[in-house]
Amino acid sequence: MESHYSNPVCTPSRAALMTGKYPFRTGRQESVIEGFQPTGLSINLTTLPEELVKLGYQTHMAGKWHLGFCANEYLPTSRGFQTFLGIYSGHTDYYSHLRGAGDYYDFFDGEHVAIEYENIHSTIVYGERAVKIINGIGENKRKKSKNEKPFFMYLAFQTPHSPLQPTMRSFNRIKSTANQVRDVHSALVLDMDYAVKKVVRALKKNDLYRNTIIVFTSDNGGTVKHGGSNWPLRGNKASLCEGGTRVPTFVHAPFLLKKQPYINKRLMNIVDWMPTFLNLAGYNGNPSLKLDLDGIDQWSTISKDKISRTEMVYNINSKNGAIRVGDYKLMFGKSLDKTGWYDLDLGVAQCINWIDKIPLSEEKKAIYKECFSLFWIKINNLQIVLNLS
């Protein structure tokens, strides 16, 4: 999907995915939910998993929630997901699962603290949880159990969000370049690749592959200072430029797509997934009309390359906004002035600290740090030049 759009940062995108509505209509348009901010996705809103449960689906989530946890009614298990394993906030240490500078432990199974996953890389945990769920579904299918139901799984990997902490297995398999931050970022992506590979294998093993639609997308563009790249698009995460909002997306359904394989250049927004999924699941009527959604059913666009959407809103908040109509885009606000995304987000990120977080002996950590040291000196010198200029 060459023209698939999300929002510039994660909370608004996740709110749009879960509700099928633009964030400016749900109160989630400004920015991300901070660590102890007493708010969340409004409980008056109907969510995608809630509607799928009504249609007889079982619903599962593993990964990053980031839509509020200040009260039980904001938790994923209160918003339509029957199982949940992961983090409530925006980012944590991949191994210790501590938020920020160790403010609190953020890793939960359902509504209970899951301390047993401490020192296990979160990407590995999420992949294994997905495989376990799929194996259970396959077992029920083989036994023709009364509990057999179609399933929806929201697998929201934390990677490659900061802090940059890949596994050593992946980092050792990445070809070293002059850009060490990019190498660490690439290793994080490889961690996710391994997890996705396990999920696909589990689907095939349990005879669920042929009838499963896999959608891969992102909640915002890459962060350049953390090794991401949006080239040739202008902009960065947190920017309404194309690089901050037009995200890598593909749909994998080889036994269900009418046209394949091909590159789809039709306009699509993250709000479209809710009505698309609901119609595929057998929703009675038009969910966009019945549920007052901004999203539209895009299955004919995806499956047959037909035009369904010609305009969309990127976002509108108190600082900026953008809209696209056909091939024209209108932007206004702070993202166009001299203190734009390039001043805030092009500084070099310190990435050597991730080695301290890995559960290895001090001797092994010292070896890895030595490999980084010469490069790190060069980077610090570069950063001083950039700051002085």
Q: Which residues are catalytic?
A: 10, 66
Structure token digits, residue 53: 């449960």
Measured between alpha carbons, how far is residue 8 from residues 40, 69, 238, 321 in Å?
18, 22, 4, 11
Q: Which is nearest to 52 in space by CA: 283, 225, 301, 251?
A: 283
- DSSP one-letter code for 376: H
Phi/psi of residue 364, nearest 5 degrees: -70, -40
Question: What does the DSSP assignment read for 200-214?
Answer: HHHHHHTT-STT--E
Question: What does the DSSP assignment read for 279-315?
Answer: HHTT-SS-HHHHTT-S----HHHHHH------EEEEE
E strands of the chain, at which residues? Answer: 4-5, 58-64, 83-87, 98-99, 104-105, 108-109, 112-113, 151-156, 214-216, 250-252, 268-269, 311-316, 320-325, 328-333
Dihedral angle of Cα 236, 63, 91, 230, to the nearest 10 degrees: -10
First to last CA, the chain: 40
Q: How far apart are CA 76 and CA 59, in angstroms?
A: 11
Beta bridge partners of 333: 320
Question: What does the DSSP assignment read for 75-97?
Answer: SGGGTT-SEEEEESSS---TTT-
